[in-house]
Amino acid sequence: MALIAKLDQAMTDRVDALTAHQAEPTLAHRTMAALHTSRRAQAIESIPRAQVIAQFDYLRSVLPDVFVMRPLTTPTAGVYPLNFAAAAFGTSGTATDYMLPIGSNAGGIPVTGMFGATFEVAAGIYKQLGYGPKGYDGNDNNQDGFIDDSLEGTLELTPEEILELRRRLGRHTHKTARSEMLYAILVEGYGPYGSSFSRDDFTSKEVQDTDGDGLLEFVDAWGEPLQFYRWPILYHSDTQKGFPNLSKLSLDLAADRTPGPYASVYETREQNPLDPNQTLMAPAWWGSEFNDSVPGGYGIARGKVSGAAVFFMSHFTTLVDPIAASGTVASNATFWDRSVNTNTGYYMRRAYYSRFLILSGGSDRIPGVARLSSPNDSVDYRKLDERTLFVSSDGTISTKRDGTGSPVPVSPPNLIRIENQGGRVDPNRTGGFGNVPFDSKFRNDTNTFLESAGYDDITNHGLGTAASTN
């Protein structure tokens, strides 16, 4: 708990400083934020919404919470061995589709990062991995159009050092990535905000390299890596609504209410601090009925959700409530939308409040949040969940566990759509919400195995600190 409290204070200070920075919207941000309706020849711009999207893009890049390693064969220009949970913007099929901020691949905008992280933040990882200095200095040293790629990172390395770098990449396990990212930000940080700590501020029991990949991790009292989430919008705690637990869903059914995160129509609805004016919840932009002509490169509408909202969700966080989206009966008492119009489908939208999450799995060494499966540390929650009777989100009671899903592999899209949201849900679900995007893995309620595993979890949400988020 002492370690988590220490990290929580440092991250709170870091988040406050980063949130005070106002990102400048690019043309891509403005295009995504505009209303593209067939009723008008020209798009209707929204500078406030563009500013919100630019802020999401900026914070994602300076505060990544996870990454995926890819095998490094021959160091090549434009090849990056890490993806910090980033989705492509563009269709070139090259690294230019991952330039930051979104839209900088069109030229005229300084490139600040690649694959979901700024060059300064990524440097904290690449230096530990064994890159040479030219691989994390934020410069295009060989003038080939790519900054800090694998070619620059290995320019000054011997063949033996490159081989060791490959070995480290191969030893990485996914369960350590979030802790390694947290360590890189707070201890190995570069750029204007630098680092909050030095290595000497921690003992050998607090910082280790448990998987031997060369990247240091914060570990708990049981030697397990801590888990870090930037926007854990589906994590349920006293701090935030998240995805309601089994007890809340059962209470709703007992009171003849459609199961959902809220108790009544009068309960105050959450707001995302990055979007205090709820520009992302505006029906004209969020819905596909009015915002029906979004340019193809900015998302394709799915059901009631506009292409622009789909695009936003593919890069950042969901804008729909998985329970409302799958429910057969809308309810203005338990859903975020108090108006509830099943014809328009607006009841599916939801604004989430979330505070960054730092979590230890506790004495059972199992975090009460879902983790995707990688070859080195696979978890199949179908075999672990003891539930036989459970509440479905459409208000019915199921007597048979759905075992048709298969372990969902670690990939940037799956991290964005599933794991990054920090839910106590089964990531191995099949089926879903028809045309509603990105949430089909959350078809039913919480995974009771993860709820049980979460009882002894130790988190910064239980520290009683001020609710500073995003």
Give pLDDT tens digits along the chain (470 positions).
Answer: 899 999 999 999 999 999 999 999 999 999 999 999 999 989 999 999 999 999 999 999 999 999 998 777 778 888 899 999 999 998 898 999 999 999 998 888 999 999 999 999 999 999 999 999 999 999 999 998 899 999 999 989 999 999 998 899 889 999 999 999 999 999 998 876 788 899 999 999 999 999 999 999 999 999 999 999 999 999 999 999 998 887 888 888 888 888 889 999 999 999 999 999 999 999 999 999 999 999 988 988 988 899 999 999 999 999 988 878 766 678 889 999 998 877 788 988 999 999 999 999 999 998 999 888 776 676 666 666 555 555 555 556 555 555 555 667 888 988 998 889 998 876 655 443 333 444 444 444 456 778 888 899 999 998 754 333 33
Question: Is 175 found in the same domain as 122?
Answer: yes
Give, as one character, the DSSP assignment of residue 183: H
236: tokens are 């349920």
265: tokens are 């129509």
Rounded distance between C-alpha atoms, residue 66 and residue 403, angstroms? 28
Rounded distance between C-alpha atoms, residue 226 and residue 206, angstroms? 10
Question: Is 376 found in the same domain as 252?
Answer: yes
* Residue 317 counted as domain residue: yes
Out of 226, 243, 266, a domain closes at 226
* Residue 81 counted as domain residue: yes
Question: Is 376 found in the same domain as 278?
Answer: yes
Contact 69, 84 (CB under 8 A): no
Give start and end residues of each alpha helix (H) in 296-361.
307-315, 322-326
What is the reported pLDDT for 228?
Answer: 98
* Residue 96 counted as domain residue: yes
* Residue 43 counted as domain residue: no
Phi/psi of residue 114, nearest 5 degrees: -140, 145
Angle 305-310-311 from CA coordinates, rounded to 5°: 150
Question: Is 270 found in the same domain as 251?
Answer: yes
Contact 100, 118 (CB under 8 A): yes
Structural domains counted in the chain:
2
Question: Is 298 found in the same domain as 152?
Answer: no
What is the reported pLDDT for 190?
Answer: 80
* Residue 13 counted as domain residue: no
Question: Is 298 found in the same domain as 340?
Answer: yes
Question: Is 151 found in the same domain as 95?
Answer: yes
Closest CA to 179 of 313, 367, 14: 367
Query: In the block, which residue shows the tokens 């596909």?
Result: 288
Question: Is 234 found in the same domain as 138?
Answer: no
Angle between helices 177-186 and 119-129 (to 10 degrees): 110
453: tokens are 């595993």
* Residue 110 counted as domain residue: yes
To the nearest 10°, the Cα dihedral for 29, 31, 34, 35? -140
Rounded distance between C-alpha atoms, residue 403 and residue 408, angstroms? 13
Rounded distance between C-alpha atoms, residue 106 and residue 90, angstroms? 9
Question: Is 241 found in the same domain as 216?
Answer: no
Contact 373, 379 (CB under 8 A): yes
Rounded distance between C-alpha atoms, residue 351 and residue 441, angstroms? 19
Question: Is 234 found in the same domain as 266?
Answer: yes
Q: How far is CA 270 from the centre of its chain?
A: 19
Question: Is 261 found in the same domain as 172?
Answer: no
Question: Is 197 found in the same domain as 87?
Answer: yes
Out of 202, 226, 250, a domain closes at 226
* Residue 41 counted as domain residue: no
Out of 226, 253, 284, a domain closes at 226
Residue 413, domain extent: 230-470
* Residue 262 counted as domain residue: yes
